[in-house]
Amino acid sequence: MNKHLRDQLIQRAVDAKKTSYSPYSKFRVGASILTSDGEIFSGCNVENASYGLAICAERNAVFQAAFAGKRKIVAVAVTSDEKAFITPCGACRQVLSEFADGNAEIILVSAAGKTKSVKFKKIFPTPPALEKLKK
């Protein structure tokens, strides 16, 4: 991925964080994903008074891409208001594994704008998977 596209992916995650609906935790998260055809989809976390019904920013972005018919994720950017880097939660890792392989780049972005990149397989080395039905 070239620097311009990487910067754009990061900026879209930062912009998505601004739209977070997090009145209960006050923990804003923004994410963006890059699909294999170069499109970027973004999402923010959206909370609910029934905590289990909330959705994380990463899953929000993945579902937006899936709705648009995209099935291959090559990079993800995740940011919050934390000084430290945050990584996708377990549920998000499982959802990402449906559309991203172990070589997908995960770009972690601190509140100060510092970045750290890791391969998806580093944060989710052995995703549980079912064999997909063949038509």
- Catalytic entry in 58, 82, 98, 131: 58
Does 64 score more than 80 pLDDT? yes
Which CB contacts under 8 angstroms, 24+ apart, belong to 49-54?
Answer: 49/24, 51/24
State in words which class domain 3-123 has. Answer: alpha beta
The partner residues of 41 in beta bridges, in order of sequence, read 33
DSSP state, residue 36: T
**pLDDT score at 84:** 96
The count of other CB atoms within 10 Å of the CB of residue 57 is 30
19-49 confidence digits (pLDDT tens): 999 999 999 999 999 999 999 999 999 999 9
Helix and strand totals (H; E) in the chain: 4, 5
User: Residue 7's pLDDT is what?
Assistant: 98
- The tokens for 110 are 């601190």
According to the model, what pLDDT value does residue 127 have? 85
| 58 counts as catalytic | yes
Residue 121, Cβ density class (10 Å: 0-12 exposed, 13-18 middle, ≥19 buried): middle
Mean pLDDT of 77-106: 97
pLDDT, mean of residues 86-115: 97
* Mean pLDDT within 97-107: 97
